[in-house]
A and B are shown apart, each in its own frame.
Chain A
Amino acid sequence: MSTPATQTATIQYDDKTVRQFMFFSVLWGLVGMLVGVICATQLSWWQMNGKFLEAISFGAIQADGISWLTFGRLRPLHTNAVIFAFVGNMMFAGVYYSTQRLCKVRTASDLLSKIHMWGWQLIIVSAAITLPAGLTRGKEYAELIWPINIAVALIWVIFAINFFWTLAKRNEPSIYVALWFYIATIVTVAMLYIVNHLSLPTSLTHSYPIFGGLQDALVQWWYGHNAVAFFLTTPILGIMYYFLPKAANRPVYSYRLSIIHFWSLVFIYIWAGPHHLLNTSLPRWLQMLGMLFSLMLWAPSWGGMLNGLLTLRGAWNKLRTDPVIKFFAAGVTFYGMATFEGPLLSIRAVNQLSHYTDWTIGHVHSGALGWNGFMAAGMFYWLAPRLWKTKLWSVSLANMHFWIGTVGILLYVAAMWTAGVMQGLMLGEVAEGGTTLKYEFVETLKAIQPQYILRSIGGTLFLVGFVLCAINLWKTARSGQPHDDTVEVAVPVKKHDTMTVRETLINDPVAYSILGCFTLCLWFFLPPHANIAALIVTALLAVKAVHGFRTRGTKWIDWHERLLHNYLPFTLLVFIAVAIGGAVQIIPSLIVNRDENVEGRLQELYTPLELAGRDIYVSEGCYNCHSQMIRMLMPDVMRYGRAGEKDDFSHLGESIYNHPFQWGSKRTGPDLAREGGDIVDGHTYMRSGARDNVWHYNHFMNPRQTSEGSNMPAYPWLFEKKADLKALPTKIAKQRQLGVPYPPMNQHDIIDKAQFQALEIGKSLAKAKVLQPAGLEMGEDEFAQYISETEVVALIAYMQKLGTYKIVEKDGPPEGTPLDPDSYRGVTVAPETGDTANITD
C-alpha cells in the first residue's frame, strides 16, 4: 500500500534539539534525584533540614533548621524536578527524534524548537529558585506560582504548534501509534494544566486557586492523577512504540491491540482521579467513579505492556547482550507492575491502608524509577551512539547501571511497601478492650525507621546508577561528533488530511460511543427509575454496537484507517475522549457542592490573622506531611476525632472555603483536622484547641521537645520573620471574589483585627514565660509585642482555628438534588425499605 510518489526530497533532521533536550534531561535528572535522596534522609534524621550544615561548615553556619532546606519546600522541588525537568526533557527528546522520522520531515520550525527548548529550561530554573524560597500554590505537582504557570502554558502551546505543524507537513500520510500517544499527551496536558492552575493573583508571587474545598480537591486530583497518566505514561508509551521495535528489530506485536488500548486508555484514565480521595468527604458517587474506572483501567494499561513485551518475542536473546533491550524490558515490566498495583490501591478497602502511608510512595516510585527512569535510560543508550555517530562508550558500565538501578528500585519499593503496610496496620490497631488505640502516632513513625533508612539506600543506589549513565553518555558524546541524520524521502501526492468534521463525527463508531456516554451519564444523574431506563438504553446501545461491528466491521476499520490519515480529526476525537470524564465529574460538583447547599457543619471563616497563618502553612509546605481530612474510617475517627462525638470525621462543609484545599496525600505527621478549638474565655479572637499556644510555640521551635521521636524540622525562622499583614486586605478582597462570604471590611479594620488577635496570643505566650528565641531577653510586655508580629503567632492562630465549624440546619426531609446521585439514594431507598418492613410485619 505504499503511496505513489511523484518526487523525492532530501531531508536533514533536526537532531540538535534532541541532543539538547537529552543533555538537560540527564542534568536535571541528577539534580532531581539528588534532592529526592536528601528528602529521604530528612525523614530519618531531622538534622538534614539544615542542622547538618553546622557540622560540615565546622560551626560557621549555626541553625536548627534552614528554611529553604526543609522537607516541606524540598519535596515539591524533588517532584517537580523529576516530573517536569527529567521526564519532561526526556519526553521532548524522544518526541522530537521520533516525530521527525515518523513524519519523514524535519521539525516544522527551528525557531519554535529553540524557544521550546530554552523556555523549558528557564521555567525549570525559576522553579528551582521559587520553590525553596517558599513561593508555592500549595497543590501537589502544581506548586509553581502563577507567572511561571503562564510561562509553562505558553511554552506548551509553542510545543503544540511546532508538533502539529510538523504533522501537517508530513511526508508520511498515515500517523503511527507513537504519534497518537503524543497527540493525546499534548492535548490532555494542556487541558489539565490550564484548568487546575486557574487562580486569582493577590501579588506577583501569590495567588489563590479559584476552586475551594472539595471542588479544589476534585480538580487537583483530576489533574494530579492525569499528570501521571498523560505526562509520565502516554508520552513514554509513544516512545516505547518507536524505540522498542527499533531496538529489538521486531514488528510491533499487535496493531489492533494498539487501537483498542489507546482509545480505552485515554478515555478511561481521566475518570480515575477521585481514587486519590477515597473514604474522604468527597461525595460517594465521585468515589465510586474513581474506584470503578480505576479497575477498568487495568486492562488498557496492560494492553500497552503486552504490546511492549510481546514485541520482544524473537528478540529475547538480545536481553543478554543489549543494555537497551534490558532497560526497555525491565521498564515495561515495572509499568505492568505499577498499573496492576494502581487499580488494586483504588479499591476503597485497600485504600484505607495505602492512602496517607508510604505504600503509595512505594507505588509511585515503582512507576517513576522503574518505568520512567529505565525507559529514559534505554532511550538514551539507544540514542547517544546515533546522535553522535559513534558506539556506546561502555556496554558493561550500562549493564552495571542496570543492575545497580534494579537493586535500588527493589530495595526502595520493598521498604516502602513494608513501611506503609506496617504503619497503616499499627495506626489502626486497637488496644486491649477495643475502646482506645494501641499506638501513639510517633510510635508508628519510630517503628518504620529501619525501612526509611533502607529507602534512602535504595534511592541512593538508583542515583549512583544514573550517575554511571551520565558518565557513559558524556563519554559516548565525546567519542563522536554531533550528527544529524540526512535521508532521502518519498514525497507522496497529498491525499491525506482531507477528512471533514462531519465525516469525523457522523459515523457509526463515534455515534455509538458518544450516545453511549450520554446515556451512561443519564444513568448516573437521572432520578430513580429513569436512571434504570437509561442503563437499559445504554446496554441496548452496546449490544447494537457489537452487532454493528460484527456485520459492518470493515466499514469501521476503514474509517479508522482513514482517520489515521487525518491528524486534526484524530486530535479532535482524542480531545472529546479525554474531556468527557472530567466534565462529568467536575461540572455537577461545581453546581451542587456549594456552601448554600451545605447542611450540618459549615466552616467558620478565618480571621485576617488566621488567614495569614494559613498562607504560611501553605508556603512552608506543611501539606507534604500533614493531612486535614479525617476519613470515614474507624481508626481515623478514633485517633483524630473528639471523644464522645460519633460522627467526627471531616464533613464536606468543614473545608469548603479553603483555597487551596489542604487535605494532603501523606501522613508523615498526624492529621490536623481537629487541631482547632473554641475561643478562650475572656478573649475576643484567641482560641485554644487540642493543644495550647505554648505547646505549639515550643513545638515549632523544637518539635522533639513536645513530641519525643518526631522527625519534623525545627522552624527557627518563624520566630524572627514578621508576618505579612499588609497583604491581607488584598487577599481578603480576592477571597470575597472567590465566593468566601467575608463581610465588607476596610483595610484598617483588617490589619487592626489581625494585630489585636496577634497580641492576644503574644500576651498569652509572654505570660507563660516561654523560652525566647535565641539572643532575646525581653520583658513580658516587650516580648508580647515582639512575638505578636512574627510568623509563628499567625501560624499558631491558624492551628487553633483549624477545622472549626458552625451548624447549619435545613428544614424538611432530604430531597433529591439534580446532578447529585447520592441524594437520590437517600430519598428513594428509605421509603421502599419502610414499605417492605411494613409488609413483613
Chain B
Amino acid sequence: MSEENSESEVKRGAFAKKKGEVILREHEYDGIQEFDQKLPNWWLFTFYFAIIWFVVYWVIYYHTDAYKTDSEKIVEKMEAIQERKEGELADALASINDQVLIEKWATDPEIVATGEATYMQVCIACHGTGLDAKMGDIPLSGRPLNDGEWQYGKAPMAIFEMINNGSPEGSGGYNGVPMVAKGGAMLTPEQVAQLTAFLISKNPDDYAGATFDENGKLIE
C-alpha cells in the first residue's frame, strides 16, 4: 500500500537505522506496514514517573508513620464532631426549659415554621402530614401526635428528650416498634427544640394555662 505518500519520505530497515532516520519495517501484514518511531519522551517519562510514585507512596505509607490509617483518621474526625455535638447539646439544655419552649419558642411563628419544615422532612413518614399518623386512610407506624396523649410525658423537655434520643430503652415502642433517635446524626439540638415548639403549637389545648415551678419545669 501507500506507494506515493510513504515510500518517498522514509528509508527502509537497516539503511534507515544507520542514517538515524525513521525506520519503516520491511515486513508487511496484509498490506499493513509499520514505522518504528522512537517512543515519545513525554510519554516515557509519565510512565517512569508513575512507577517511581508507586514505590515512593508505598514506602511512605508502609515504612514510615507519616500517614495515619483510614480507621485512625475517621475515628479522629468523628470524635471531634461528637465533642462538638455534646457541646451543642449542653448549650441547648442550658438555654431551654419547659417554660421557655412553651412561652417563647412555641409562640414565635418563625421558629414554629422552621420546626414544621423539619417535621415535613423527617417525621411525616411515620406520623403523617396531619400529625394523625395516617396517610389518607393508611395507618402509619408512628403514634398520633394530635390526640392529647403523650406516652412519655407531655412536658416539652420530655418531648425534646424523646425526639433527641428515641424511645426509652425497654419501652417496647408503639406496636412493638421503637422510635429511632433523631438527634445526633440527623438533627441538631436546636432543630429538635424547634420541632418540639412546632408540636406544642399544634396542641394548644394541652398547654393552655400551663404553670411552671421556679426552674421553668411544667407542673403537671
Chain A contact residues, CB within 8 Å of chain B: 1-2, 98, 101-102, 104, 172, 174, 176-177, 242, 245-246, 249-258, 260, 264, 279, 284-285, 288, 292-293, 295-296, 298-300, 302-303, 306, 310, 314, 431, 433-436, 440, 523, 528, 531-532, 535, 632-634, 637-639, 641-644, 646-649, 680-683, 686, 688, 690-695, 698, 705-708, 764, 767-771, 821-822, 824-826, 829-830, 832-833
Taking CB atoms, residues of chain A closer than 8 Å to B24 are: 251
In the assembled complex, which residues on chain B have CB atoms less than 8 Å from the CB atom of A830? 65
Are A299 and B46 in contact, CB atoms less than 8 angstroms apart? yes
Total count of chain B residues near the partner, CB < 8 A = 78
Inter-subunit contact B36/A255 (CB<8 Å): yes
Chain A CB within 10 Å, residue with most, of B63, B176, B178 = B176
Is B184 part of the contact surface with A, judged by Cβ < 8 Å? Answer: yes
Stretch binding the partner chain, chosen from B69-77, B103-111, B199-207: B69-77
Q: A284-B69, A298-B50 are in contact. Are A314 and B181 (CB under 8 A)?
A: no
Q: Which residues of A contact B11 (CB under 8 A)?
A: none
Quick check: A695 and B141 within 8 Å, CB to CB? yes
A680 and B141 CA atoms in complex are apart in Å by: 15
Among the stretches B78-86, B151-159, B211-219, the one at the interface with A is B78-86
Contact of B39 among A260, A771, A833 (CB under 8 A): A260
A288, B57: Cβ atoms closer than 8 Å: yes
Which of B2, B55, B73, B186 is within 8 Å of A436, CB to CB? B186
A826 / chain B contacts, CB cutoff of 8 Å? 69
The verdict on B96 contacting chain A, using a C-beta distance below 8 Å, is no
Are A532 and B70 touching (Cβ within 8 A)? no
CB-defined A-B contacts under 8 Å, sample of 12: A102-B29, A293-B54, A296-B54, A433-B188, A436-B185, A632-B71, A632-B73, A637-B74, A681-B172, A694-B175, A694-B177, A771-B138
The docked-state distance in angstroms from the alpha carbon of A770 to that of B126 is 12
Say which residue of B58, B65, B70, B81 sits within 8 Å of A638 (CB atoms).
Answer: B81
Indicate if the CB atoms of A250 and B6 lie closer than 8 Å: yes
Of chain A, the residue at the smallest CB distance from B52 is: A296
Whether a CB of chain A sits under 8 angstroms from the CB of B15 is no
B39 touching A638, Cβ below 8 Å: no
Q: Are B37 and A647 in contact (CB under 8 A)?
A: no
**Which single residue of chain B is at the shortest CB-CB distance from A821?**
B62
A535 pairs with B36, CB closer than 8 A:
no
| Contact B32 A176, beta carbon cutoff 8 Å | yes
CB contact between A634 and one of B27, B43, B78 (< 8 Å): that residue? B78
* Given A251-B24, A306-B40, A638-B81, 10 additional A-B pairs, CB 8 A: A174-B29, A177-B34, A246-B32, A250-B5, A254-B38, A255-B34, A260-B39, A644-B184, A824-B62, A825-B62
Known: A292-B53, A295-B53, A296-B47. A102 touches B65 (CB 8 A): no
Report the nearest A residue to B62, measured CB to CB: A825
Q: Say yes or no: is B61 at the interface (Cβ < 8 Å to chain A).
A: yes
Which residues does chain A contribute within 8 Å of B2, judged by CB atoms? 249-251
Q: Is B147 an interface residue (CB 8 A)?
A: no
Q: Decide if A296 touches B50 in the complex (CB within 8 Å).
A: yes
- Complexed CA–CA distance, A234 and B31 (Å): 22
Contacts of A258 in B (CB 8 A): 34
Q: Bound state CA distance, A245 and B53, in angstroms?
A: 35
Which residues of B from 126 to 156 have beta carbons under 8 Å from A? 126, 135, 137-141
B209 within 8 A of A: no
**Are B34 and A246 interface neighbours, CB within 8 A?**
no
Q: Which residues of the other chain, A, contact B191 by a CB distance below 8 angstroms?
A: 436
Residues of A within 8 A of B13 (CB): 1
B125 at the interface (CB under 8 A from A): yes
In the complex, what distance in Å separates the CA atom of A279 from the CA atom of B74?
11
Smallest CB gap from B54: residue in A:
A292
In contact, B74 and A264 (Cβ under 8 angstroms): no
A435 contacts B84, C-beta separation under 8 Å: yes
Q: Closest residue to A439 on the B side, CB-wise?
A: B121
CB < 8 Å: which of A252, A253, A295 contacts B54?
A: A295
Give complex CA distance A252, B191 in Å: 67
Are A302 and B138 within 8 A (Cβ)? no
Is there contact, CB below 8 Å, between A176 and B180? no
Q: With the chains together, A535 CA to B58 CA distance in Å?
A: 11
**Which residue of the partner chain, among A102, A257, A634, A825, contacts B30 with CB atoms under 8 Å?**
A102
Rounded to whole angstroms, the CA-CA distance of A177 and B6 in the bound complex is 21
* Minimum C-beta distance from A581 to chain B (A): 13
B77 to chain A, nearest CB (A): 5
* B88–A435 CB distance below 8 A: yes
State the CA gap A251–B37 with chains docked (Å): 11
Give every chain B residue within 8 A of A528 (Cβ-Cβ). 63
- The digit string for B80-103, where 1 denotes a CB below 8 A from any CB of A, is 011011001000000000000000
Q: Which residue of B lies closest to A302 (CB)?
A: B43
Minimum CB–CB distance from B86 to chain A (whole Å) comes to 10
**A768 in contact with B37 (CB, 8 Å):** no
Bound-complex Cα distance A647 to B74 (A): 7
**Among B32, B36, B63: residue with most chain A CB under 10 A:** B32
| B46 pairs with A298, CB closer than 8 A | yes
Report whether A292 and B43 are in contact in the complex, using a CB–CB cutoff of 8 Å: no
Determine whether the beta carbon of A633 is less than 8 Å from that of B74.
yes
Q: How far is the CA of A254 from the CA of B34 in the complex (A)?
A: 6
Note all chain A residues with C-beta closer than 8 A to B57.
288, 292
A254 touches B37 (CB 8 A): yes
Q: State in angstroms the CA–CA spacing of A43 and B191 once bound together.
A: 32
